[in-house]
Structure 1
Amino acid sequence: MSIRHSLLALLHEGPRYGYRLKSEFEDRTGASWPLNIGQVYTTLDRLERDDLVRKEGADGEGHVIYRITAKGQTEVSSWFSSPVSRAAPPRNELAIKLALGLTLPGVDVGAIIQAQRGVSIRALQDYTKARRDTAAQHRPADTARLLVLDSLIFQTEAEVRWLDLCEARLMQLANPPR
C-alpha cells in the first residue's frame, strides 16, 4: 500500500496537517488499514524532501500544515492513471509460513491451515456484517468503504479457497496414488 501516494491524493484536495491526513485516510478506507501517526509524519518528511509537498506554517493550534506542490500533483495524477503492477506481488506471510512449514521437520502444516481457516472465516463474517451494515445506511459517502469491504471479502474468500486447496494437496502427499 502506498502511504506516500495516499497522502498526496488527500493533499491534492487541499492543505492539511498530519493527524487530519491520518483520520481522513482511515475514514475514506473504512478504517481497514489504520495508520501510525509516526508513519504519517515520516512520510510527510520524505515527501517534503522530494519536493512533493511543502510546509505552509501552523494553523494557530500548533498543527503544521502541508500543501502539495506542482511536482506532487503530477506524481499523484500519474499514480491514479497507472495500473497497480503485478510484476512483484507483495509477500504473503501465510504462503511463506506454509511453504517453509512443509520443508521443516516437526511442523504440523495441517494445524496451521486449520487455525488460519478459522481466523479467515471469522474475518469474512466480520467483513460481510460490516458491509451489510454500511449498505443498509444508503449513504452515497459510504461507497468508498463498500469498495474496500468488497475487496477484503473477495480476498478472504480467495484465501479460504486456497487453504482448501492446500489441505487437499497435503492429503495427496499423505496418500500418494499407487
Structure 2
Amino acid sequence: MRGFYIGRFQPYHDGHHAMVGRIADEVDELVLGIGSADDSHTTHDPFTAGERIMMITKAVKDFDLTTYVVPLEDINRNAVWVSHVESMCPDFDVAYSNNPLVVRLFEESGIEVRQSPMFDRDRLEGSEIRERMVADESWRDRVPDPVVDTIEEINGVKRLQHVSDSDSLERYTAEDEAVDEPAIGDEG
C-alpha cells in the first residue's frame, strides 16, 4: 500500500519525522508532497523546493520505506486541488493529514484519509523554528540532523534573517549567500 503525506516542510522537523515514522508502520511506500513548492526566499517560505527535497530525502533514510518526494506548486483552486495532486504524484491509496481543508478535499474525492495526533506541536512547529532561526536561538534540536546539515550547507539561517529584516518580499539573491572568502589574488 502507498500513502501520501503533504506539508510545506519549512523546514522538515522532528514532528514531520515522527509522522513519517508512524506512516512507515502502515504503508509499504510513501509519496511525500512538498506543498507551496513554487514559494521560497520569504519569511514564511524560506527554502526552495530543491532544498526541501534534499532535507527530506536525507532525513527519511532512517526508515525502511520507499519514499517519493514530489514538489507541488500551489494552484489556489481548491475544487481541483486533489486532481492536481494526483496528476503530479504516483498513485496512492491513503492520504495522511490533520489539515481540515486537506482532509475535506481528499474525502470529497473518495480518498481515505487518516489523521493522527500532532507530535509536540508547541515546540515542533515550522513558524516557531523559523522564528528561532531569525532570533539566533536554539533550533537544531527540533529537526533531524540531515536537515541541520542541509540548512547549514545553504546558509539558510543567514537567508532567513536577511529576508525577515526586509519589509518587502523582495527576492534574495545568491550573491548575498556567498561565504565571505577572499577573492583570488587577495593577500588577505
Greater per-residue strand proportion: 2
Larger RCO of the pair (alpha carbons < 8 Å, separation 6+): 2
Larger radius of gyration: 1
Q: Could you say which TM-score interval applies, normalised by the shorter chain? A: under 0.3
| Structure (1/2) with the larger helix percentage | 1
What's the TM-score once normalised by structure 1's chain length?
Answer: 0.26
TM-score, length basis structure 2? 0.25
